[in-house]
Amino acid sequence: MDESLPLLTRRERQEQLRRKRRRQRRRRRRRRWRVRWLRALRTTRFWTNALFVCLVLLTLTFWARFAYVYHVPPELRTGPLSRVTAYVTLKPWWFGPPTFDLDDYLKEPNAVDTVSNTQLLLSNLGPFRAIVEHPDLVWAWYTDGSNGPV
């Protein structure tokens, strides 16, 4: 017989096999844990990316179709705009500016004093005057501090 291989008794051989099985089980558990962890990481990445894409689409939709109008002057607070200081409206056009500060449109360096503030505002708004003349209100902030859907 070959002297290099040790002869094992039955008990020793079974103990050796038991240790081998334990090592294999440990390796399998570690491998399963690693696979679970990688799957959880992949799932987290997927949902993070999905949430980011939804956020980008919502932002793009808001920019494309809605306008936030604020600093509504007292002269315009009639009809649907009574008691409103700011509002979100549906734009009659796609894309364009998403916010309108109406105070900026009231400033005219060479304004004639005979022109009313409302006429000056509407002429300065130009093609965007529909957000003031015929607002399709979605959300409003009122003079009493409350806000909500219209």
Q: What was the pLDDT predicted at 118?
A: 86
Q: Provide the pLDDT confidence category of residue 17 given band limits of 50, 70 and 90.
A: very high
The verdict on pTM exceeding 0.75 is: no
Confidence of residue 112 (pLDDT cuts 50, 70, 90): low
Which tokens in the block code for residue 47? 């949902």
pLDDT in tens, 34-77: 999 999 999 999 999 999 999 999 999 889 999 999 999 988 88
Averaged pLDDT of the chain: 89
Residue ranges of domains in the chain: 66-149
Instruction: Give whole-number Cα distances, 78 to 38, 68, 118, 132, in Å.
Output: 60, 18, 12, 11
Structure tokens belonging to residue 29: 């558990």
Alpha helices in the chain (DSSP H): 10-65, 102-105, 117-125, 130-133
Residue 69: exposed, middle, or buried by beta-carbon count in 10 A (0-12, 13-18, 19+)? buried
What pLDDT is recorded for position 6? 77
pLDDT bin (cut points 50, 70, 90) of residue 2 is: low
Provide mean pLDDT across the span 7-25.
93
